Structure 1
Amino acid sequence: MKFLHFLLPILAGALLGAVIGYFGQCSSGTCPLTSTWWRGAIYGGSVGLLFACLNLRS
């Protein structure tokens, strides 16, 4: 059960980051973190990992 509490924020962050990267594509190249859907997913997943790790501490 604790595994789900760790995995769900990561998956949610990756999904949200992928959606932002897909619909908010930056053609100028000034936003490298979310310029493509997979970069947005990586960035969102890492933010979700941060929240998951903070949640485990409490």
Structure 2
Amino acid sequence: MSQKAILITVLGVLVGGLLGYAYYHYVGCANGTCAITSKPLNSTLYGGLMGGLLFNVLVSKSKQDK
């Protein structure tokens, strides 16, 4: 992976983590039975994972990486 691809993926993890925490804070789960949104750590990690995957898909492949 190139430096650019790593940077974009890390940015995706950070953005996803922030959005995951924001989802927990503003929407969350009232009774605590939701697996992902019942705890801030779960929401942040899940958001970071999804953000990293999404941003990684958006990285264009160079001829050297193929």
1:4 aligns with 2:22: no
Q: Following TM superposition, by how much is the alpha carbon of 1:48 offset from its aligned partner in structure 2, in angstroms?
A: 0.7
- Normalised to the residue count of structure 1, the TM-score between the two structures is 0.75
In structure 2, stretches of 5+ residues that fail to align are: 62-66
Are the counterparts in 2 of residues 9 and 52 from structure 1 also a CA contact under 8 Å? yes
1:56 maps to amino acid:
V
Mark the runs of 5 or more structure 1 residues left unpaired by the alignment. Answer: none
Greater than 3 Å deviation, 4+ residue runs: none
> Which of 27, 49, 56 is equivalent to 1:46?
49
* Residue equivalent to 1:16: 19
Flag the structure with larger Rg.
2
TM value normalised by structure 2: 0.68
1:29 corresponds to: 32
% identical aligned pairs: 33
